[in-house]
Amino acid sequence: MGNFAAGNSARMKTAIISHTGSRRLILIFAGWGMDARPFAGLSRNGYDIALVWDYRDLHFDTSFVAPYSEICLIAWSLGVRAAAEVLAPLEHKITRRVAVGGTLVPVDDHRGIPEAVFRGTLEGLSERSLDKFYRRMAGTRAACDEFMRKRPNRDIDGLADELRAFLERGPADTTFRWDLALVGKNDAIFQAENQIEAWQGTPVRVYEGSHLPDFAKLIETYVVDKKLVSERFGRRRGAYEGAAPVQSAIVERLWQAMTRAGATETARNILEVGCGSGFLSRRLAASLAAGASLELWDIAGDSPVEGDGVSFCRCDAELAASNLAPGSLDLICSASTVQWFNSPARFFDSCLRALRPGGYLAVTTFCRGNLAEVEQSTGVGLPLYTPEEWLGAVPAGFEKIECEAYDHCLEFESPLDVFRHLHDTGVNSLGGDHERVSLRKALAAYPCSGTDGRATLTYRPIIMIFRKK
């Protein structure tokens, strides 16, 4: 069964299924018909994992999450509706928010499960029909057999009560904001087209799969291993500057855009998030007016520059930003960093609060399709936004000044040289654990140009400048 520590004082059940002593938590709101058994064995480096299930009563005791500084939410099926209603008191701790195979209106002919189907499931509920539900949920025979080996231990009467409760609740009345909705193309419980209709305004990713996701892969892909990111960038810090021509060129374009916008002309209090080797830091420090301040944040290493008014803090910037004093800054800038955050949207909200009216936010990051050749050959990549989705993640309190997305291609003698480049820059901290992929297989699958064996690598940066209204 694993390392379960369950709290069952209320009808909504909770269990810690992976305990590492971390202050970061992955919180999974399971679907209908579940308990902790199917989730045994899940783990993620740098995170504890907790499970919530049984939504007959939406009373949620939040005391067990008190020790955690960051919560990443994965809500599945009917758990999406439940999570949106009960987690408002924890919004200040929640970063990544992923909805999987569910909507905020679970009983709906166009945005959820059609009401006739939902009522039919309730009226015909039996041990036999529950088995049929699990088979349809799993999608394939192999997935069903695996699920049945860890089948939940739930009683029919309790499951019927849970369905009745959702019929009575109706749609969620909430402003809870989601980072991403994942939709199984072959979902036989929540039809894919209904889910897509329900998530208008939220980034949606359709994947080949059923209603039951591969939770281990989902967690590996969508929850950032910040410890790994810190270690890899820390180890490669000395080699990064010479091995990262794209990042240097991106900073040059960002600086030109900031200059055109006048972002640094009157800035007295400046924050750089993710200073790294100091590509941008040195420019900011050189332009710093007398009496002005420049605070540098990074998750690894030390300050890349020194000087009057310059200070450094080693921190998880995504969490530290939520503690910035309102209206305390004139300029927040960040180069090639926010793609490593669990929730860039929450970070942008924190920036809006911390900036004074007229203050600037200047950011570079990467768009969907970045390092596409590597993803093609390894099957691993960061879950990045499109340019439109990046703009959609920025709150309405900002005025867009500039936005430029483009491709920057590098050419190498061979695919092996591509992976050496990634190793030297630290950006092999891709969405999943890249090292699990056989290098030999990745090299064989890498798309090469022509017959000479040369290989390209495509970066897709985006440069964005905003001013607080």
Query: Above pLDDT 90, what percent of the chain?
Result: 76
What would the CATH number be for the domain defined by 5-223? 3.40.50.1820
pLDDT (tens digit per residue) in 197-221: 999 999 999 999 999 999 999 999 9
Are 304 and 282 in contact by the 8 Å Cβ rule? The answer is yes
427, pLDDT greater than 80: no
- pLDDT level of residue 172 (50, 70, 90 thresholds): confident
Residue 349 and residue 463: Cα distance in Å, rounded?
18
Q: Residue 430: which pLDDT band, with cuts at 50, 70 and 90?
A: very low
What pLDDT sits at residue 274?
95
The first and second tokens of residue 54, run together, are: 């049984």
Delimit the domains of the chain by residue range.
5-223, 227-468
- Which pLDDT score is estimated for 323? 94
Please compute, for residue 47, the number of CA atoms within 13 A of its CA located in the half-sphere on the CB side: 24
**The pLDDT of residue 171:** 77
On average, the pLDDT of the chain sits at 90
DSSP string, 24-38: EEEEEE--TT--SGG
pLDDT at position 449 over 80:
no
pLDDT of 5 higher than 50: no
| pLDDT confidence of residue 453 | 76
pLDDT band at 434 (very low <50, low <70, confident <90, very high): very low
Name which of 182-186, 274-278, 291-295, 311-315 the model is least confident about: 274-278
**What was the pLDDT predicted at 146?**
94
What's the CATH number for 227-468?
A: 3.40.50.150
**Domains 5-223 and 227-468 in one fold:** yes
Q: Is the pTM of this model over 0.85?
A: yes
pLDDT of 231? 79
Whether pLDDT at 9 is above 60: no
Q: What is the pLDDT of residues 266-291, one digit of tens each?
A: 999 999 999 988 999 999 999 999 99
Amino acid at position 135, single letter: R
| SS (HEC) of 222-235 | HCCCHHHHHHHHHH
